[in-house]
Copies of this chain bind each other. A is one copy, B any other.
Amino acid sequence: MKAKEMMDKDFIYANADSSIEEISIKMENAKRFTTPVLDENMKLIGWVTSLDIAKGLRENKKSISEIMNPKEDVKHIHENDPSRLAVLEISKSKLISVPVLNNDDVMVGVIRSFEIVDTLSALYEVKVEKLYMVMAKQLKAFTWDELLEASSIIYRRTTSEKIKPEEYEKRIKNSTFGEAIWATGGLERFFSGLIAVGELAILRRIGKARK
């Protein structure tokens, strides 16, 4: 996914000669903790946070140009950059938003930390049952029951807790991919468990065919 597919095109902005008081009210109404400072062609020239605004008000400054952070100090990304870059910038520099620019340095959108949390967490909310359904569809030779049987055996092997296939089915209905990763101790181990299930199902099937 590119930055331009993830960004919000709807954002507030200030000009260098805007009054601090006016921008303070604008940010409050829009509930934004940061605002870009743009020139008359919408090119990015600076950045202001609500902390800068409070400082300006305390020190009786008047215009945005007196308090803004210059463009050189503002982390920004290009609209065709992978949106992963925004994720890295936000977590590395502890930002709450990153402006997105086009080839002409014109600001075309913004990516905010809570939008990233939204996108990333959507992945975590996928039900484990859905992954089992994919597995069942892919391994066409197996019935749903065979997969659950193999799962409960693998589960018993790794935890020594006895669990019936029906209980296992209930568990995957109610748990998400995110929970399963925390529970098994990481993506690789979760993944390894699922492959073990597929492998065991195949071996049991071959064993039955030979009888």
Contact A114 B134 (CB under 8 A): no
Contact A124 B84 (CB under 8 A): yes
User: How distant is A177 from chain B, measured CB to nearest CB, in Å?
Assistant: 7
- A65-104 vs B, Cβ < 8 Å mask (1 yes, 0 no): 0000000000000000010100110110011100000000
User: How distant is A87 from chain B, measured CB to nearest CB, in Å?
Assistant: 5
- For A120, the chain B residues whose CB sits under 8 A away are 117, 120-121, 124
User: A15 interface residue, CB < 8 Å from B?
Assistant: no
- Which one of B53, B91, B189, B191 lies within 8 Å of A117 (CB-CB)? B91
Contact B33 A96 (CB under 8 A): yes
Band of interface residues on A: 35 or more
User: A172 interface residue, CB < 8 Å from B?
Assistant: no
User: How distant is A127 from chain B, measured CB to nearest CB, in Å?
Assistant: 10
Considering the chains assembled together, what is the distance between the CA atoms of A139 and B55 in angstroms?
61
- For A58, the chain B residues whose CB sits under 8 A away are 21, 24-25, 57
- For A117, the chain B residues whose CB sits under 8 A away are 87, 90-91, 113, 116-117, 120
User: A137 interface residue, CB < 8 Å from B?
Assistant: yes
Contact B51 A191 (CB under 8 A): no
- For A130, the chain B residues whose CB sits under 8 A away are 188
- Which one of B87, B88, B199 lies within 8 Å of A139 (CB-CB)? B199
Q: Which residue of B lies closest to A116 (CB)?
A: B117
- For A54, the chain B residues whose CB sits under 8 A away are 24, 27-28, 50, 53-54, 57
Considering the chains assembled together, what is the distance between the CA atoms of A191 and B193 in angstroms?
13
- For A49, the chain B residues whose CB sits under 8 A away are 33, 50
> 3 tightest A-B contacts by CB?
A50-B50, A120-B120, A113-B113
User: A84-B124, A131-B187, A177-B187 are known contacts; what are 11 more A-B pairs with Cβ within 8 Å?
Assistant: A27-B54, A33-B51, A54-B54, A84-B178, A87-B117, A91-B121, A94-B114, A113-B117, A120-B121, A123-B187, A195-B195
